[in-house]
Copies of this chain bind each other. A is one copy, B any other.
Amino acid sequence: MAHEDADRLATELVIYASRLVRAVRRHAGDEVAPETLRLLAQIDQRGPIGITQLAQVENCAQPTMSAAVRLLAEKGWVERAADPRDARASLVALTAAGAAELRRGRERFGRVVAGWFAVGPHTDADLRRAVDLMKSLVAHEAGQ
């Protein structure tokens, strides 16, 4: 059945995505994990942003984001400023050290993936298409 094949393909996508993340995390050693880099990238992109909103764009629970931001703050990679228009809220932004860490992390991920990539038969265009596909999948999660 074509149905079974499609299920299997979708399952493989998820499974290999999981493997890829684990592989990169292992090769990252003691440095920033994919989840951390993801969060740094998000904060970099969204500028000063509140915890709750950050949790929403990251699709995680607010307490999860509180804890994650606290860890980043302890490492000096983000700063929490008071929101002048709402005393309940805080605005999270990257520090210079956080921006540097984001850059270093990207370089390292790039090196690691490039190393595996070079051995295989795929092109840069394949890589871009794969990224687009997953971006599209994830984008449509929240939407329904």
Contact = CB atoms under 8 A, between A and B. Distances in A.
A14 B11 CA distance: 17
B6 A135 contact: no
Nearest to A142: B23
Interface residues of A, number: 65
A34 interface: yes
> How many copies of this chain sit in the oligomeric assembly?
2
A38 B19 contact: yes
A4 B111 CA distance: 11
Q: Which secondary structure characterizes the binding site on chain A? A: helix
A13 to B, nearest CB: 5
Contact of A7 (B13, B15, B110, B126): B110
Interface string A128-139: 111111111111
Given A6-B114, A130-B133, A59 B26 contact: yes
Interface of A: 3-4, 6-24, 26-27, 34-35, 37-38, 41, 59-60, 105-107, 109-117, 119-122, 124, 126-141, 143-144
